Structure 1
Amino acid sequence: MLDEALVVIVRVVISFFSLLIFTRILGKQEVGQLTFFDYINGITIGSIAATLATDLSSKVWAHWVGLAGYAILTGVLQYVTVKNRYLGKVLDGEPTVVIENGKILEKNLKKMRIKMSELMMLLRDKGVFDITQVEYAIIEINGGLSVLQKANNLPVTPKDLHIPSTPSRLSTEVIQDGIVIEQNLKQRKKDIDWLNGQLKGRGITDVKEVAYALILPNEQLYIDKYEDHIGDEADMGDYEGPY
C-alpha cells in the first residue's frame, strides 16, 4: 500500500506540473469568456490529468501523451482562429442578434437554443426590465448577452452635462457578519467611535444586527441589517409552490 501511495504522489506531481505548464502556454482566459467548446475541452484535459494521477492500471506515458495531445491541439486551434477569420467563425461561432428595436428575433433565438425565459433572465442580469428599451441584444460566442439600450434610455453622464466629476474610488467593507473590520476603518481614516455614531444614527444599538456595511466612495455608510423589513417581497415565480 505504501508503494502505491508513493507512485500516486509521483504521478500527482507529474500531472500537476504538466497542467501548470500547458495552461501557461495556452494563455489566460476568464471562465466567463470561454466558448462551450473551450469549456468542454478544459473538462476533458482535467479528466485526463486526474486519470494520469490515480489510474495505476496503466502507464503514465500513455496518459501524458493524451494530455499533451489535447493541449497541443487546443493551442493549434487558438492559433488558427486568430490567424484565419473564416475558420475562427466556423470553430468558435459568431455573435447573434436576438433583439432588434425592442422586437425578439425568434428564429435566431431558436438557432441559439435559448429559451425565452433564459433571455429574460439575461436581460435582467444586465439591469434591463423593459424589453421595449432595447435597441439591440446580442448573444456573444461565450453565451453572454450584450445589450445596447435605445438612445433616450441611456443614462446621462457628467460629461454630457459638462459637470466636473471627482475620481472614482472603491468601497470599503467595515462590518461583515456582525464583526467590525478595524483595519479597513483605519484605511479610510475612521475609528470605532465614528462607526458607532453612524450606527446609532440609524437606530442600531448592537453591531451584531448588521450583516454587512460599507464605506462608500462618497464617505457615506451603507448598512444592510439581518432584518430588512421590506414588507411585501417581489415574487419572480410564475406558479404557487413550495420552492
Structure 2
Amino acid sequence: MSGYFSMFFEMVIGFVALFLVTKILGKTQISQITPFDFIAALLLGELVGNALFDQNAGIIDILFVITIYAVIMYTSEIISQKYKHTRHMLEGFPSIVIYNGKLIRDTMKKNKLDINQLQHLLRTKDTFSIQEVEFAVLEANGTLSILKKSDYQMPTRKDLKLSATEVDLSTTLINDGEVIMDNLKEKNLSIEWLSEQIKKEGYERIEDVFYAEYIKDKPLFLLPYLNRNHQKWDAD
C-alpha cells in the first residue's frame, strides 16, 4: 500500500511541476508543437515514467528530470529568438503546397503529405474541394493555412460598402448556475440588474439558469437548466 501512496504522491508532484513549466514556457509552446517539441515531450514522458516506476527513484529525481526538460525547452526558445538562422532547425518552416491553384508535388513529397491527408486538412478549414484554393501553406506545426480563390471568398462589410460597426467580446455572467462576480464588475453590472433580466425571460431564480452570456446592446443570452414549464430537459 505504501508503494501506491508513494507513486500517487510522486505523480501529483510531477503533474504540478509540469503545470508550472507550461506556464513558464507560455501558451505558444503548447499550441505550436514543432518536431523538436514533439521529441522533447516523448523523451520527458519516458523519463518521468521510468522515474515513477523505479523504486530507487524519488521525488528529487522526478523534479530533476522536469527541470532539465524546462531548461532545454527554455534555452531552445531563447536561442531561436536571438539567432534567427536556428529557427529552421529548431522550429521548422512553412511550405507552400498549393500555389496559384496548382499542387506543388515536390513540396508535398518532401513533407510526406499525400492527397488524402491534404484533403483532410482542407476540410478542417471548411474547404471541400482543392479547386477552391489559390494558396495553401503547410505550417511548421502541421496545420494548414489557406487563401481561397476570389470566387469562393466570403464578402466583407467593406466589399459590400457597409459602414463599420463596433465589435464587442461576449462575457460570461453565469456559468453552471453560478454568477461570475468578477465579470459583472468588469462590465459595471449589478446582481440586481442580472436578476431583473432573468425574470424578464421568465425565470424566477439565478439558479434556474445554466449559462448567461452578455454582449453590449444585445439581449442577454440564456441557457436554462429547466424549460419554461420548469420540467427537466428530455434526454430524447
TM-score, scaled to structure 2:
0.66
Determine the structure 2 residue equivalent to 1:111: 110
CA pair 190-128 structure 1, distance change in 2 beyond 3 A? closer
SS of 2:28 mapped into structure 1: coil
The number of aligned residues is: 191
Determine the structure 1 residue equivalent to 2:37: 38
Determine the structure 1 residue equivalent to 2:19: 20
- Distance in 2 between the 1:67 and 1:13 partners? 13
Structure 1 counterpart of 2:209, from 160, 178, 183? 183
Shift of 1:44: 2.6
- Distance in 2 between the 1:131 and 1:90 partners? 30
Which structure 2 segments of 5+ residues have no match? 173-206, 214-219
Q: Does 1:137 align with 2:136?
A: yes
CA pair 68-107 structure 1, distance change in 2 beyond 3 A? same
Shift of 1:100: 0.8
Large movers: runs of 4+ above 6 Å: 189-192
Instruction: Name the aligned partner's letter for residue 74 of structure 1.
Output: M
Q: Deviations over 1:145-188 (max 9, x none)?
A: 00011233321112222224574676x9xxxxxxxx95158764
- Distance in 2 between the 1:36 and 1:49 partners? 20
Q: Give the share of equivalent positions with the same residue, in percent.
A: 28
Determine the structure 2 residue equivalent to 1:49: 48
Shift of 1:132: 2.4
Alignment of 1:83-122 (within 5 A): 83-122=82-121
- Distance in 1 between the 2:222 and 2:9 partners? 52
Shift of 1:71: 2.0
Instruction: Name the aligned partner's letter for residue 25 of structure 1.
Output: I
- Distance in 1 between the 2:45 and 2:111 partners? 27
Shift of 1:190: 7.0
Instruction: Name the aligned partner's letter for residue 157 of structure 2.
Output: P
Question: Are the counterparts in 2 of residues 45 and 67 from structure 1 also a CA contact under 8 Å?
Answer: yes
Shift of 1:32: 4.1
Alignment of 1:1-243 (within 5 A): 1-2=1-2, 4-29=3-28, 31-164=30-163, 165=165, 167=167, 183=209, 188=220, 208=234
Q: Deviations over 1:194-217 (max 9, x none)?
A: x77xxxxxxxxxx7487xxxxxxx
TM-score, scaled to structure 1:
0.64
Determine the structure 2 residue equivalent to 1:216: none
SS of 1:146 mapped into structure 2: strand
Question: Are the counterparts in 2 of residues 51 and 63 from structure 1 also a CA contact under 8 Å?
Answer: no
